[in-house]
A = this chain, B = another copy of it.
Amino acid sequence: MSGNDPRELESLRAEIEALNVTLLEVLSRRAELVTEIQRAKTRDGIPTYVPEREQQMLAGLVRKNPGPFSDETVARLFKEIFRASVELMEASKERVLKISRAARRADLVLEVGASRIGAEPVLIAGPCAVESEEQMEEVAEGLAGLGVRFLRGGAFKPRSSPYSFQGLGVRGLELLAAAASRHGLLTVSEVMDTRSVELVSRYVDVLQIGSRNMYNYDLLRELGRCRKPVLLKRGLSATIEELLWSAEYIVSEGNDQVILCERGIRTYETETRNTLDISAVPLLRQKSYLPVIVDVSHAAGRKDILAPLGRAALAAGASGLMVEVHPCPAVARSDSQQQLDLAEFRRFLDAVGLERPLAPGLAAAAAGAATRALARPA
Contact surface of A with B, Cβ cutoff 8 Å: 1, 3, 8-9, 12-13, 15-17, 19-37, 40-41, 43-44, 50-52, 55, 57, 60-61, 64-69, 73-74, 76-78, 80-81, 84, 87-88, 94, 158-163, 192-195, 212-213, 215-219, 221, 235-242, 245, 248-249, 252, 265-272, 275-283, 286, 299-300, 304-305, 308-309, 311-317, 328, 330-332, 336
Contact = CB atoms under 8 A, between A and B. Distances in A.
Given A26-B23, A77-B81, A16 B34 contact: yes
Contact of A17 (B57, B278, B336): B57
A163 to B, nearest CB: 7
Contact of A26 (B19, B163, B248, B268): B19
Most buried by B among A36, A64, A271: A271
B282 A245 contact: no
A170 to B, nearest CB: 15
B193 A218 contact: yes
Give the dominant DSSP class at A's interface: helix
Contacts of A315: 308, 311-312, 314-315
A138 B66 CA distance: 37
A206 to B, nearest CB: 20
Contacts of A277: 267, 269, 275-276
B312 A283 contact: no
Counting chain B CB atoms within 10 Å of each CB, which of A8, A26, A50, A313 scores highest? A26
Contacts of A212: 215-217
Nearest to A5: B40
11 contacts: A9-B40, A24-B74, A31-B67, A77-B84, A162-B249, A194-B194, A239-B269, A265-B275, A268-B268, A272-B283, A311-B315
Contacts of A13: 37
Nearest to A158: B217
Contacts of A25: 66
Contacts of A309: 278-279, 282, 316
A31 B68 CA distance: 7
A337 to B, nearest CB: 12
Contacts of A78: 20, 23-24
Given A195-B195, A266-B237, A268-B267, A73 B65 contact: no
